[in-house]
Amino acid sequence: MLHNDADTICAVATPTGRGGVSIIRLSGSLAHTICKTITGQVSPPGSWISVSFRNSSGTLIDRGLLLAFVAPHSFTGEDVCELHTHGSPVVADQLLDELVQLGARLARPGEFSERAFRNDKIDLVQAEAIADLINSSSVRAAQMAVRSLQGEFSARIHSVVAELTNLRIFVEAALDFPDEEVEFIEQGRIMARMLDLIDSLQTLRAKAHQGQILQEGLKVVIAGEPNAGKSTLLNRLSGTNRAIVTDIPGTTRDLLEANILIEGVPVHLIDTAGLRLTDDPVESEGIRRAWQAVEDADRILFVTDFSVVPQLEKDIASWQQISTNTDLKSKTTLVINKIDKTTVSTFEDSAFGVPTLLISALTGDGLSALEKHLLECAGVSISSEDGFIARRRHLSALDQGLANLCAGKVHADAGESELLAEQLRLAQEALGQITGRVTSDELLGLIFSSFCIGK
C-alpha cells in the first residue's frame, strides 16, 4: 500500500549491525525542523557540521555529523537530512525513536527511491538500477548498473519513443485530415520508418538481454542419464565438491545448485537426478524435479557418456524427449563426457541437431570451450563496453513493443491506417512501462518493496 508522500520518513541507511559509522536518513517537510530540535543547530545546505544528538530530556545520545539538503536539490527532491553517528545499533535505535516522537515515521523498503521517482529525480529504470548496483555480484554487473543509473538505458528508450511519437503524428494527421495530401503517407516512406523503428528496438532488446543475464544470471541445468558424469561436471565447473560422486546410479536425488562467474557473468548451475524410469519413490520425485528444472532452464547441458553416444537416438528416452521438443531442443547443448577414455576428438553438431561439445569432467579437458559456449549462448559480448543492466520486465515490455510494431507493419502494408495507429499507440505504451511514464501503483509497489530499508 502506498503511503502519503506528505509524511516525513526516516530510516537507517547503512547495513544492520555494528560498524564504524551509522547513517540515518530523514526526508520530508519536517526534516530540518526535527534535526534542529535534536541538535540545536541548523546545517547550511550541502554542508557538514559537527553536532550533539540529544533526546527530549536533553540527554546526550551521541556526537556526530549532520548534513542537510534543501528541496528540490536532494536525492528525493524533498528536504533531506543525514545523521552520521557511531555505528552502534543502540545509538541508531535511540535516534530513530526520537525522530518518530518528533513527527517522522519509519520508511518502507525503497521509499526514498520511490519518492525520488515520484518527484522526477530519477525514472523507474534508474530506480531499479540503484537496487541492481547494491546487489551486483560481479564488477561487470556493477559497471552496467552504473550505466543504467546514469540514464544510458533510459536515453535509448526515450530515443526510440521520440521516433515512434513522430511517426504517430504523421499517421494521426492522415486520419484526422483525410482530404489533405500527406506526403509521408503517399510516398510510402512510412514503411521505411517502421523498419527503422523495428531495427532500433531489436538492437536495444539484444543489449537489454545481455544486461538481464548479468543482473539475474544464466540458469544452466545439467541433465542426462545416471552415471553420465553430471555431478562431476558440477564439481569441476564450481571448483568445489558440492555433489557426491559414486559409481552407483541414482546417487543424486534432489537438485544441487552452485553459483559461479564466467568472465564476470553470473551462472547458476543446477545438477539434477539421472533421467530414467525407476520404482524408487524418492528418486522418482528427484526426476520429476529434474524435468521441471529442464523446462525452466536458460540452457540445458545434456551430459552423456561417450560410450552411450551410439544409442542416443534410439535407446535413450530422455534424449528423445528433449530432442523432439522444439522449445527444449533450441536451448540444449549435447555434452559428450569421458573423452579421456577415447581417442576421438570431434563430433559434428549436425549429427544431433544441437551444439555438441566433447569434454572430460574428470580431467577438465574441454571445459574452457564449454564455458565460452555458455557465454555465446547467453548472447554476452565480453568486449562490449556500452551495455546496461536490465530486468525481465524490461525484456517483456520490449517484446510487446516489437510485437506491436510488427503488427503495425502488416497494417501499414495493407493501407489500414486506423489499425496502424492503434498498434503504434500500444507500442509507445509498452515502452513507457519501462521508464515509468506508463505504470500502475501495483507495479511500483512490487518494484520498490524489493529495495533495502533506507533506499
- The contacts of residue 115 (CB under 8 Å, 6+ apart) are 5, 9, 27, 76, 77, 78
Contact 306, 342 (CB under 8 A): yes
Domains defined along the chain, listed by start? 9-121 (3.30.1360.120), 139-213+391-436 (1.20.120.430), 217-378 (3.40.50.300)
Per mean pLDDT, which range of 90-94, 166-170, 320-324 is the poorest? 166-170
Contact 107, 453 (CB under 8 A): yes
- The contacts of residue 285 (CB under 8 Å, 6+ apart) are 253
Contact 80, 43 (CB under 8 A): no
Per-residue pLDDT tens over the stretch 371-403: 999 988 877 665 556 678 888 899 999 999 999
**The pLDDT of residue 314:** 74
Q: Is pLDDT above 50 for 3?
A: no
- The contacts of residue 227 (CB under 8 Å, 6+ apart) are 247, 249, 274, 305
Q: What is the secondary structure of 386-413 as a DSSP string? A: S-----HHHHHHHHHHHHHHHHHHHHHH
DSSP code of residue 87? E
| Location of C-alpha cell 551509522 | 22
- CB neighbour class for 215 (10 Å; exposed up to 12, middle 13-18, buried from 19): buried
Contact 266, 141 (CB under 8 A): yes
Q: Which residue has the higher pLDDT, 443 or 69?
A: 69
Per-residue pLDDT tens over the stretch 226-262: 888 888 899 899 887 655 555 555 555 568 888 888 8
Q: How many other C-beta atoms can be found within 10 angstroms of the C-beta atom of residue 264?
A: 17
**The pLDDT of residue 334:** 94
Per-residue pLDDT tens over the stretch 394-449: 999 999 999 999 999 999 888 888 899 899 999 999 999 898 876 556 656 766 77
Q: At 209, which amino acid appears?
A: H
Query: Within the chain, how many helices (H) and strands (E) appear?
Result: 17, 12
Q: What is the secondary structure of 2-56 as a DSSP string? A: PPPTTS-EEEE-SPSS-EEEEEEEEESTTHHHHHHHHHS--PPBT-EEEEEEE-T
Mean pLDDT of 97-126: 93
What's the rounded Cα separation, in Å, for the pair 240 and 255?
A: 16
For the chain, the residue count is 455
Per mean pLDDT, which range of 36-40, 88-92, 146-150, 379-383 is the poorest? 379-383
Q: What is the secondary structure of 212-227 as a DSSP string? A: HHHHH-EEEEEEESTT
In the structure grid, which three cell numbers stand for residue 17, read together?
549491525
- The contacts of residue 284 (CB under 8 Å, 6+ apart) are 278
Rg, Å, the chain Cα set = 28
Q: Is pLDDT above 50 for 1?
A: no
Contact 214, 262 (CB under 8 A): no
Q: How many other C-beta atoms can be found within 10 angstroms of the C-beta atom of residue 181?
A: 8
**The pLDDT of residue 116:** 93
| Location of C-alpha cell 528423445 | 320
- The contacts of residue 230 (CB under 8 Å, 6+ apart) are 222, 223, 224, 243, 252, 271, 272, 274, 303
Q: Which residues pair with 68 in a beta bridge?
A: 45, 81
What's the rounded Cα separation, in Å, for the pair 303 and 366?
A: 13
The percentage of residues in the chain with a pLDDT greater than 90, rounded to a whole number, is: 44
DSSP code of residue 339? G
Per-residue pLDDT tens over the stretch 194-223: 899 999 999 999 888 888 887 788 899 999
Sign of the dihedral through C-alpha 40, 46, 47, 48? positive
Per-residue pLDDT tens over the stretch 259-314: 888 887 889 999 988 777 776 777 778 888 888 989 999 999 999 988 888 888 77
- The contacts of residue 424 (CB under 8 Å, 6+ apart) are 164, 167, 168, 171, 404, 405, 408
Q: What is the secondary structure of 427-452 as a DSSP string? A: HHHHHHHHHTSS--HHHHHHHHTTSP
Q: How many other C-beta atoms can be found within 10 angstroms of the C-beta atom of residue 94?
A: 17
Contact 148, 129 (CB under 8 A): yes
**The pLDDT of residue 187:** 47
What's the rounded Cα separation, in Å, for the pair 262 and 106?
A: 41
What's the rounded Cα separation, in Å, for the pair 394 and 226?
A: 39
